Amino acid sequence: MTLLVVLFMLYNSLLGSTRAQIEVHPQTLTIMHAHNDSLALSAINAQFIQNFVTQNVKAHDQIIDPDFVCIEGSGRIVNRETYLKNWATDYDSSGCTSFTYGEQCIRIFGDIALVRSKTTAIRMVNGISRTDHTIYTDTYKKEKGKWRCIQVQITPIK
């Protein structure tokens, strides 16, 4: 496709035309928007993890929706207010000495997106190092051009 555009522009310049029109298909724009959304969601996911490790409640408040809920590994549903209150101490109280994520998968469905990753947490429990793994899915909605997390579901990997 790019070669055709270049040839068209070259052809027009040989004919003395100084203006070439390039048509952009809606499908191309959709792909560009999806790529930008994917990059934005990946950055928010990284910020989410950073907020956890640094226990940054103020920054975290900006990326979660007013109707946010968290479904913990136990199945307990935690509302936004309780979640943010706990966020201020969760990392320190977990005994974590290291927390990482990987295998990120982002799926976008219009103004809704799912972000899934696996985590590895190294904890000190009674003086013994223990490694735990979880998989989580964060659900995001896009309003007024901004992605916000509406739900988190965390599942321990056994």
Correct CATH for 27-157 of 3.10.450.50, 3.40.50.1980, 3.30.460.10, 3.40.50.720: 3.10.450.50
DSSP-derived 3-state class of residue 148: strand
Half-sphere exposure of 59 (CA within 13 A, CB side): 13
Q: What's the rounded mean pLDDT across residues 20-46?
A: 65
DSSP one-letter string for 105-143: EEEEETTEEEEEEEEEEEEEETTEEEEEEEEEEEEEEEE
pLDDT score of 142 more than 90 = yes
Q: Where are the beta strands (DSSP E) in 1-158?
A: 64-71, 77-79, 96-109, 112-125, 128-143, 146-157
- Which band of pLDDT confidence, cut at 50, 70 and 90, is reported for residue 92? confident
pLDDT score of 18 more than 70 = no
- Which band of pLDDT confidence, cut at 50, 70 and 90, is reported for residue 137? very high
Q: What's the rounded mean pLDDT across residues 86-104?
A: 90
Placement of tokens 């982002």 in the chain: 106
pLDDT score of 102 more than 70 = yes
User: Model pTM?
Assistant: 0.74
Q: What is the pLDDT of residue 33?
A: 54
Q: Which residues pair with 156 in a beta bridge?
A: 134
pLDDT score of 100 more than 60 = yes
Cβ pair 55, 87 in contact under 8 A = yes
Cβ pair 149, 60 in contact under 8 A = no
Task: In whole angstroms, give the CA distance from residue 2 to residue 103.
Answer: 33
Instruction: Share the mean pLDDT of the chain.
Output: 82
Going across the sheet that includes 112-125, the strands are 77-79, 64-71, 146-157, 128-143, 112-125, 96-109
